[in-house]
Structure 1
Amino acid sequence: MGNILIINNSVLNTWGFAKLATTISRQFKYDITIYCRTPALCVPALALGAGDEPVDDMSTLEEKLEQFNTNSTGAGLAISPEGGIGARNISDLLIAQNIKLIIMSKEDDMLMNLSPNERLAFVNKLTCPVLLLPEGHYEYPDKVVYLTDLRYCTLDALRFLKHFGCSIYVAHMTLPGMTDMEERYAQETLADFAGRLNYNKMFLRNIRGKAKEYALEMITSQVGINCVVVESKKHLPLENFLPGLCERSRNYDRAALLVLPYLNWRR
């Protein structure tokens, strides 16, 4: 069984992350590993989030989360108090613990202490999806917009998103140097993907012309998108999001960012 890895350096985020990860684990049948840089504070913070008195041991904390997890598939829980995890050695941890999804804050120190180029290199080398959450927001991604050129869209990416049970708005964005995709052809292409996945919660948004940021802003606000999905090392849209992770000026900046691996995805 795979694991969801929560990387957390803020006590205030711990319970929100844990609840979101528990909900996701029901859909994917994953276990959960919480990595806290301050485990002595992490444990009572989680317990307080459950509406109980503070606890000071791991076993009591696991009982609290199991109570929250009553209606799920019974995801296993491990809390790692070990230090030393960082951008340079995280790849080894992903393999050792069979990590299938990382959840962390957009404002986590591990990202904020890197330059924009280093941040991009860090995310690009990950071998599993990473869900970057705006500070203080722990919404389940039930309406996502997936940015891609439909002519190069991957079935694996759509299959992964299907596991969330979410509405998938596929925003076709023509790659530089290529002609815009005609609406009918785009609809037929998406219908083919939906048929192969047996999934009817997929909707096309054909973004044409140069005003792509404005079009994405309109999609996000009108539909109520709470997660933007991009692929690393593909189509180049990731470069437009990572440098300004903490921006709040646009609706899609305030949504979660789910980054999917491309060529190096360990499934």
Structure 2
Amino acid sequence: MKSILLIADHVAATENAARQALNIARHLHLNIIVGQTLPARKTSRQLAVISGGRDEIPGPVNALSEVLSLLQEEIENSDVDIEVINIADYDERELTELINKRDIWLIVKGMADTVRSGSPEGKFPVEHILNRTRVPMMLIPAHAMIRDFKRLVYMADLRYCRYHILRFLAELADPYQAGVSVAHISAKGLTNMTDEYAEKVFSEEICRQVHYDKLYLNNIHEKDLTRALDVLINGMHNDLLALINHRFHFEEIMGRHIGEILPVAVTIPIIIFPY
């Protein structure tokens, strides 16, 4: 059965990420594997299977697991199973092996609001995993509103739109009956597409390859990426932004590398697809 890998590497940020992971798992009938990078410590409660607490996971667990256990109250009649794995000592090869062997469909990671001073609480090689696997990673701002998806947007140049990304987003959106849109913004150096030409490419090429009845196009003529991002998030009220790692508009929004915190303008979950 497909699973979500929830990275537990920051106490404050992981609670919101856990809520998002549980929301997705419930709608898509997935299990959750908690990849714990923090040192484990004994607690009075063992993390139980959400479907009713029938089974307990032996051994010490982290306080982050308590967060997941408490969240079972928010999910009724659910069959989401949770497994905790300590990955604190895993190297990149072992992490890649885990992701590939355990049929991980999505990686979810919480992002802090501020850069931590001193040694980080836990570490997870985001860039390396995106480079070594074909699994997308969803980054959740620590104070993002967690709710059912209504609108998902993929920012890309329509001429280089990846069908597999739209199919993935459609699979994610379908249980929510959410809309999926392509926000076309021309890549640097390329001319803008007229609305008429963009609609033709969208209907004749993309819609024939991606079959989803709530697939839409937004031809964005704004060249300022900061303004365009503000429109997509605050004007159009999208709930999830999709980008390709280090392609097209990624570096203009995220910078050269994915750091400890997200850019201030990114206030909603963002899903990064491997290049």
Report the TM range for the smaller structure's normalisation. 0.7 to 0.9
The answer to whether the 8 Å contact 1:17/1:138 transfers is no
Evaluate the alpha carbon distance shift between residue 86 and residue 224 of structure 1 in structure 2; reply closer, same or farther with a 3 A threshold. Answer: farther
Aligned partner of 1:96 in structure 2 is 101
Matched pairs, number: 245
SS of 1:58's equivalent in the other structure is coil
One-letter code aligned to 2:199: Q
Structure 1 residue corresponding to 2:171, chosen from 163, 180, 190: 163
**Higher mean C-alpha displacement, 202-211 vs 152-161:** 202-211
1:76 is aligned with what amino acid?
D
Aligned residue in 1 for 2:233: 220
Contact (CA 8 Å) 1:120, 1:239: kept in 2 or not?
no
Runs of 4+ in 1 over 4 A off after TM superposition: 12-15, 41-47, 59-69, 86-89, 118-122, 242-245
Q: Which amino acid aligns with 1:155?
A: Y
- Mapped pair 1:137 → 2:144: yes
Which residue of the partner structure matches residue 172 of structure 1?
184
- Cα distance in 1 for partners of 2:167, 2:191 equals 27
Q: Secondary structure in 1 aligned to 2:213?
A: coil
TM-score normalised by the chain length of structure 1: 0.74
- SS of the residue corresponding to residue 80 of structure 2 reads coil
> More displaced, 57-66 or 223-232?
57-66
> Cα deviation per residue 1:28-83 (whole Å; 9 max; x = unaligned)?
33221012224437885979xx9xxxxxx6379798766654444x2332112353
Q: 1 CA distance for matches of 2:153 and 2:198? A: 16
Q: Using a 3 Å threshold, how does the CA distance of structure 1 residues 254 and 64 change in structure 2: closer, same or farther?
A: closer
Deviates more, 1:121-130 or 1:181-190: 121-130
State the Cα distance separating 1:162 from its structure 2 match.
Answer: 0.9
Q: Tell me, what secondary structure is at the counterpart of 2:172?
A: coil
Name the residue aligned to 2:243: 230
Distance 2:230 2:154 in 1: 13
Looking at structure 2, the residues matched to 205 and 63 of structure 1 have their Cα atoms a distance apart, in angstroms, of 40
- Name the aligned partner's letter for residue 223 of structure 1: M
Q: 1:206 to 1:168 in 2, by over 3 A?
A: same
Q: From 217, 224, 227, give the equivalent of 1:204.
A: 217
In the alignment, residue 274 of structure 2 is paired with which amino acid?
P
Q: Could you tell me how far 1:98 is from its partner in structure 2? A: 2.1
Aligned residue for 2:238, secondary structure, equals coil
Alignment of 1:11-50 (within 5 A): 11-36=11-36, 37-40=38-41, 44=45
**Which one of the candidate residues 187, 193, 211 is aligned to 2:199?**
187
The percent identity for this pair of structures is 22
Q: What is the identity, as a one-letter code, of the residue corresponding to 1:40?
A: R
For the residue of structure 1 that corresponds to 2:83, the secondary structure is strand
1:53 alignment counterpart: none
Q: Which amino acid aligns with 2:103?
A: N
Report the equivalent of 1:265.
none
Cα RMSD (Å): 3.6
Gaps of 5+ in 2: 51-55, 59-64
Aligned to 2:2: 2
Kept after mapping to 2: 8 A contact 1:15/1:46: no
1:125 and 2:163 are equivalent in the alignment: no
> 1: CA distance between counterparts of 2:42 and 2:139?
22
Deviation at 1:120, TM superposition (A): 4.4
Residues 249 and 29 of structure 1, relative CA distance in 2, 3 Å threshold: closer
Q: Residues of 2 paired with 1:248 and 1:154: CA distance?
A: 24
Contact 1:131 1:257 (C-alpha < 8 Å) held by counterparts: yes
Q: Residues 119 and 185 from structure 1, CA distance in 2 versus in 1: closer, same or farther, beyond 3 angstroms?
A: same
Indicate how the Cα distance of structure 1 residues 164 and 41 shifts in structure 2: closer, same or farther if over 3 A, else same.
Answer: farther
**Which residue pairs with 1:58 in the alignment?**
57
SS in 2 for 1:219: helix
Give matches, 1:75-94, under 5 Å: 75-85=80-90, 89-94=94-99
Rounded Cα–Cα distance in structure 2 between residues aligned with 1:6 and 1:43: 22
Q: 1:239 to 1:202 in 2, by over 3 A?
A: same
